[in-house]
């Protein structure tokens, strides 16, 4: 009924989480009102995602360069490392403005049922790095899900073995709630009350 390109783009946009076909179609109709320069700009910018997004060699944060802005910031306390599951959690913590150390992004959590083992998270390398860089405190900011707890316990054991101080975000983040969705005040308090 509609030109094929409209159908094609609608299918592609429906891939976004929370975007159904109806909404996707509305976006496409919106775009039909854009001028060709705007359309060109959008498509070029999307393409840049494939070439311009790098992963920080130190912490796995997303970055323009080999080293992310946080790792390259001399004002940050490099003796503190906050461990998060993903970059969205890192951003949530950054938004509280109550933490001035560095981060380490695990990218996944240990989950035996899903076949994700400690080796897959390169935990030994991380612990080794903490030891070599004389890190004073590792703060675990992982969700209270089964996978989050399993990962936190494993990390704690490995870090304690190397005599590195480990703290966890204080309770207040309800069970199963991910860091990303915790509100800023809850997260800020959780940081202050870590133990």
- Considering CB under 5 A, how many residues would be counted as binding Zn ion? 6
Contact by Cβ (8 Å): 154, 182: no
Contact by Cβ (8 Å): 140, 164: no
- Taking CB under 5 A as the criterion, which residues in 121-180 touch Zn ion? none
Lookup: tokens for 15: 């891939």
Q: Is the dihedral of CA 110, 112, 114, 116 positive or negative?
A: positive
Q: Which of the ranges 6-14, 56-64, 131-139, 158-166 carries the binding residues for Zn ion, by CB under 5 A?
A: 56-64
Is residue 56 part of the contact set for Zn ion (CB under 5 A)?
yes
Q: Which of the ranges 10-18, 48-56, 173-181, 182-190 carries the binding residues for Zn ion, by CB under 5 A?
A: 48-56
In whole angstroms, the minimum distance from the beta carbon of 83 to Zn ion comes to: 13
Choosing from 10, 24, 28, 61, the residue that interacts with Zn ion (CB under 5 A) is: 61
Considering the complex, state which of residue 57 and residue 160 has its C-beta at the smaller distance from Zn ion: 57
Q: What is the DSSP string of 69-110?
A: TTTT-TTSEEEEEEEESSHHHHHHHHHHT---EEEEE-SS--
Site string (2-41) toward Zn ion, x via CB under 5 A: ----------------------------------------
In whole angstroms, the minimum distance from the beta carbon of 2 to Zn ion comes to: 45
Taking the C-alpha atoms of residue 8 and residue 119, their distance in angstroms, rounded to an integer, is: 40
In whole angstroms, the minimum distance from the beta carbon of 125 to Zn ion comes to: 15
**Element spanning 176, H or E:** none
CA-to-CA separations, 78 to 121, 132, 136, 139, 161, in angstroms, rounded? 21, 12, 9, 13, 21
Site string (67-86) toward Zn ion, x via CB under 5 A: -x--x---------------
Considering the complex, state which of residue 73 and residue 119 has its C-beta at the smaller distance from Zn ion: 73
Strand partners, 80: 137
What does the binding site for Zn ion look like in residue numbers (CB under 5 A)?
56, 58-59, 61, 68, 71
């Amino acid at each position: 009924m509609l030109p094929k390109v409209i159908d094609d783009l609608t299918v592609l946009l429906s891939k976004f989480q929370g975007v159904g076909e109806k909404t996707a179609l509305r976006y496409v109709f919106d775009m039909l009102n854009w001028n060709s320069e705007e359309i060109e700009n959008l498509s070029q910018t999307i393409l840049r995602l494939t070439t311009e997004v790098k992963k920080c060699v130190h912490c796995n944060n997303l970055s323009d360069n080999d080293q992310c802005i946080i790792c390259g910031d001399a004002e940050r306390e490099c003796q503190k490392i906050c461990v998060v599951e993903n970059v969205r959690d890192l951003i949530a913590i950054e938004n509280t403005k109550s933490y001035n150390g560095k981060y380490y992004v695990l990218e996944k959590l240990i989950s035996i049922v899903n076949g994700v083992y400690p080796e897959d998270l390169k935990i030994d390398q991380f612990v080794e790095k903490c030891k070599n860089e004389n890190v004073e405190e590792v703060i675990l900011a992982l969700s209270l899900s089964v996978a989050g707890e399993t990962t936190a316990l494993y990390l704690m054991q490995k870090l304690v073995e190397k005599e590195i101080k480990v703290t966890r975000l204080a309770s207040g983040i309800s069970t199963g709630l991910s860091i990303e969705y915790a509100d800023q005040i809850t997260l800020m308090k959780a940081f202050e009350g870590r133990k």
